[in-house]
Amino acid sequence: MSFDINTNITSLQAQQYLRVNSDFQAKTINRVTSGLRILSSGDDAAGLAIANGFRSDQAVLTQGIRNANDGLSTLQTIDGGMNNISQLLDRARTLATQSASGTFNGSRDLLNSEFTSVLGEIDRQSQSIGLNVGGTFAKSLSVFIGGGRGPDSAAVITNGSVSVDLSSSTVDSRSLGLQAYEAKGAGSGDFTATGMGVSNIITTNAPAGNLTTFKFNGPGFGDANGVSVQVNLNSVQDATTLAAAINSAISSIQATSPANLAFINAGVTAGVSSDGKALVFDSKSTAFQVEASDATAAAFLGFTTTNIDPTGLAPASNNTKIEAGGIQATATITYGTGLVKATPEKQELFVSTTDASGAAHTLAIGLTGLGAAGANQTLAEALGQINTALQNSADAALKNIVAVSMDDGTTHNLEFISTNPTFSVSVGANTGVANHGLGSQNTIVDSAASGTATSADISTQAGAQSAVAALSAAVASLGSAQAVVGKGQNQFNYAVNLAQSQLTNLAAAESRIRDADLAAEAANLTKAQILLQAGTAALAQANSSSQAVLALLR
């Protein structure tokens, strides 16, 4: 071997290994003191990316579990309110049952007073828990928890969410069937007045075949699709038997068309006002209009014979219609002489509404202005176009609006009725000539509350007996709503359990990648210390090895 003193290869090699061992010792000490295997991207770039994804998923699930627990708390609050409403229904049924007894000789008015206050408390508590019609929680509640998987981000969000639909679980008195939308006889009608008894009306008008007809208009069964109900008057002697005959005729309607089915689903029933003076029509869920199709029906609705053509209704005097009281909203615009037919113009009508959750819905309806055989479009033809557009919109909130006519022989009003909380109707600017027949251009008519609702009443034995049946159905309805809330609570509990399991397993997976194995690192630390000490000693030997050359120079 050769000897040289300029380049000490052994020393350089010893320095290299010493540096490597020193770095190894420093990294091992950092791992032991931090508890982490990956301290920088260079330690394990691929592993770090995976571990960071796991850590991010844990953050989402941690907040998602809080979200689910918040949702669970909300449902528990709602459930507690429903339990209170259940007790209120028990009290209402007790009062109704007491009043329904023929041997009760106390004051039914006092019973009815408490009964009314119980219904009011049901409404107050349903509003407090957000499950009245249009309430805070009367909608589909989606809670994002995380942990979802899917081919795209939308699927990840959907699979990581739990939804509870409370839109059909409202528990106010209307939703429980204890209030209804009511259309009450109008004009000067009073079955108890002289000459206005039911028998006198039938005798005076002498309907052909002893039959009279009422036409009903509502969402899905409006204008040309209105449902006509022909009533047999042979057994009718008073207001009570008249209502029974009308209900018998209504129940005979078969679901042979979409309009008939919509009318059946509306659940319209006839009855007599509590004072026995007027004919009333109720629906638990739908705004509607009742129209007399002949003089007899008009008189039953309370319109005097001076407004009636004995051979039928005079075309220019069509003020023989009543609408459901308690409708949440109506909007009216005036219809002129008809849309002008001169050119293929288009008049636009804009209908805007909000659903129970507050979401906005808008529909633009184009009216052609042309009627049958190219004549001016009539009000009836305009109604047909409007209602067809609403029903074909495939939008539940818009389909809940119906356009009807309310004429007094001079003014032709196009009226929109609905149980939606709010809506508006606007007439667009004309696109051809000045007169399109629809009110003022570029104006908006907002809905306004109309009429009053009718509530279950136990001030009479008959009313109490009806209330007993209605309350029985209300208890079943409340039970159905409670089942939905209970199902939601279980869903949230299951979701929390899964999220907790996912959170635990994600933490374990991240730990396997990111955390240091301290047993191995302790051994490595000992190894590094020994190597460093040995390397230091070896470097000292390597540095002094060149001194052997001095022996050659002596």
The per-residue pLDDT for range 31-76, each reduced to its tens digit, is: 888 888 888 877 888 888 888 888 888 899 999 999 999 999 999 9
Q: What percent helix, strand, coil does the chain show, rounded to 5? A: 50, 20, 30
Confidence band of 438 (pLDDT split at 50, 70, 90): low
What is the C-alpha to C-alpha distance for residues 98 and 103, in angstroms, rounded to an integer? 9
Confidence band of 415 (pLDDT split at 50, 70, 90): confident
Q: Is 379 left (phi over 0), alpha (psi -120 to 50) or beta?
A: alpha
pTM of model > 0.75: no
What is the C-alpha to C-alpha distance for residues 553 and 452, in angstroms, rounded to an integer? 126
Q: Tell me, what's the pLDDT at 359?
A: 76
Q: Tell me, what's the pLDDT at 301?
A: 83
pLDDT digits (tens, 9 = 90+) for 391-409: 888 888 888 888 887 765 5
Of residues 238 and 553, the one with the higher pLDDT is: 238
CA distances, 89 to each of 1, 111, 119, 395 (Å): 109, 14, 8, 34
Q: Tell me, what's the pLDDT at 328?
A: 41
Of residues 333 and 536, the one with the higher pLDDT is: 536
Quick one: average pLDDT of 514-541?
85
Residue 307: pLDDT over 70: no
Quick one: average pLDDT of 359-387?
74
What is the C-alpha to C-alpha distance for residues 320 and 404, in angstroms, rounded to an integer? 13
| Angle at CA of residue 107, ends 103 and 109, nearest 5° | 125
Q: Tell me, what's the pLDDT at 154?
A: 79
Of residues 310 and 375, the one with the higher pLDDT is: 375
Structure tokens at 250: 């209504």
- Judged by average pLDDT, the poorest of 313-317, 328-332, 450-454, 534-538 is 313-317
Residue 375: pLDDT over 70: no
Helices 239-251, 198-205: inter-axial angle, 10-degree rounding: 70
Which residues have a Cβ under 8 Å from the Cβ of 25 and sit 6 or more positions away? 525, 528, 529, 531, 532
Q: Tell me, what's the pLDDT at 308?
A: 43
Supply the mean pLDDT for the chain: 80
pLDDT digits (tens, 9 = 90+) for 336-346: 544 444 454 56
Q: Tell me, what's the pLDDT at 186?
A: 63
The residues that bridge with 426 in the sheet, in sequence order, are 350, 444
Q: Tell me, what's the pLDDT at 312?
A: 39
What is the C-alpha to C-alpha distance for residues 220 and 426, in angstroms, rounded to an integer? 22
Quick one: average pLDDT of 436-460?
58
Q: Tell me, what's the pLDDT at 412?
A: 63
CA distances, 212 to each of 138, 217, 233, 313 (Å): 42, 17, 7, 13
Quick one: average pLDDT of 427-432?
59
Residue 518: pLDDT over 80: yes
Residue 211: pLDDT over 50: yes
Q: Tell me, what's the pLDDT at 483?
A: 94
Cβ neighbours, 10 Å, residue 517: 12
Of residues 452 and 541, the one with the higher pLDDT is: 541
Structure tokens at 431: 């696109």
CA distances, 528 to each of 28, 372, 540 (Å): 8, 100, 18
Percent of the chain with pLDDT over 70: 80
Q: Tell me, what's the pLDDT at 71?
A: 92
Of residues 374 and 317, the one with the higher pLDDT is: 374
Residue (of 429, 444, 424, 419) closest to 361 by Cα position: 424
What is the C-alpha to C-alpha distance for residues 510 and 504, in angstroms, rounded to an integer? 10
pLDDT digits (tens, 9 = 90+) for 174-186: 788 887 777 777 6
Q: Tell me, what's the pLDDT at 306?
A: 47
Q: Tell me, what's the pLDDT at 252?
A: 93
Percent of the chain with pLDDT over 90: 21
Report which DSSP code applies to 376. B
Confidence band of 240 (pLDDT split at 50, 70, 90): confident
Structure tokens at 231: 């009533």
Give me the amino acid identity at 334.
T
Q: Tell me, what's the pLDDT at 99?
A: 92
Residue whose pair of structure tokens reads 């969410």 in the numeric block: 161
Residue 285: pLDDT over 90: no
Confidence band of 84 (pLDDT split at 50, 70, 90): very high
